[in-house]
Amino acid sequence: MVSLSVSELPGDRMQVRLLGPVDATVDGQARAISGLRRTALVAALALRAGEVVSADLLTELIWDSRPPPGAGQTLQSHVSQLRRFLGGAAVIRRVPPGYVLDLPGDGTDVGVAQRLIREGTTASDAAEGARVLRQAIGLWRGRPLAELAGWRWFDEQAWWLESLRAQATRPGRAPAGSG
C-alpha cells in the first residue's frame, strides 16, 4: 500500500473498495485507511453511498453496538479526518440526522460489481456475458470487509457481498475459468 499525504491527493477519481480489505483508490492508487473505526465508518457509508446514514446508527456500527461515552464527538472527529483523507468535505456531507457519502455511480467496487453482474447476466451474447461476468468476479480481492470480520453488522454485509459474487457464478451463468 502506498501512503500519501493529503496534499498529494489528486482527488479527480476516487473509489471505495469493499470487496476485500477496505481501502480507497485515488486515481488508481490504493490508499489504506488508518484505524479500525475509520475503516468501519468508510465501509458503513460506502455500503449506503448516496443515502443519509444517521449519526446514531453510525455510532452503533463503528463501535459494534458498544459505543463508549463521548462516541458522538469521536464520530465527528473520524468524519473530519476521513474528509481530509478522501479529498474534502464534499465527499462526506453532514445531512441531518447524519452523514452521506457522495460518490459517482462507480464510486464503490460494489456498485461496479452490481452493474457488471446485471450486464453480464442479461447479455444477449453468451461470450460477451461471460467476459463481463469475469470482470465482475475479478473485483473481489478476498473476503469482503476483511478487517471488520467478527463485527455483527459487517459480517452480515460481507455475507450479502459474497452472495452477490455467487450471482455471477451460478450454473448457467458462470464464465469459463471462474469460480
pLDDT at 27 over 90: no
- C-alpha separations of 77 from 41, 58, 70, 72, 124 in Å: 11, 13, 11, 9, 49
- C-alpha separations of 43 from 15, 92, 110 in Å: 12, 12, 11
Q: What is the mean pLDDT of residues 99-126?
A: 93
**Rounded distance, CA 46 to CA 23, Å?**
11
- 53-54 β-sheet, strand order: 53-54, 98-101, 92-95
Confidence at 172, pLDDT banded by 50, 70, 90 = low
* Enclosing H/E stretch for 132: helix 126-137
**Per-residue pLDDT at 92:** 94
Q: How is residue 54 written as a grid cell?
A: 444517521
Residue with cell 461515552: 69
pLDDT at 7 over 80: no
The answer to whether residues 11 and 26 touch, using CB atoms and an 8 Å cutoff, is yes
Confidence at 104, pLDDT banded by 50, 70, 90 = confident
Taking the CA of residue 82 as centre, how many other CA atoms within 13 Å lie in the half-sphere pointing to its CB? 31
**Per-residue pLDDT at 14:** 87
**Rounded distance, CA 58 to CA 41, Å?**
7
Instruction: Choose among 153, 144, 151, 115: nearest CA to 22.
Output: 144
Give all domains of the chain, ordered by start, each with its CATH number. Answer: 6-101 (1.10.10.10)
Residue with cell 456531507: 93
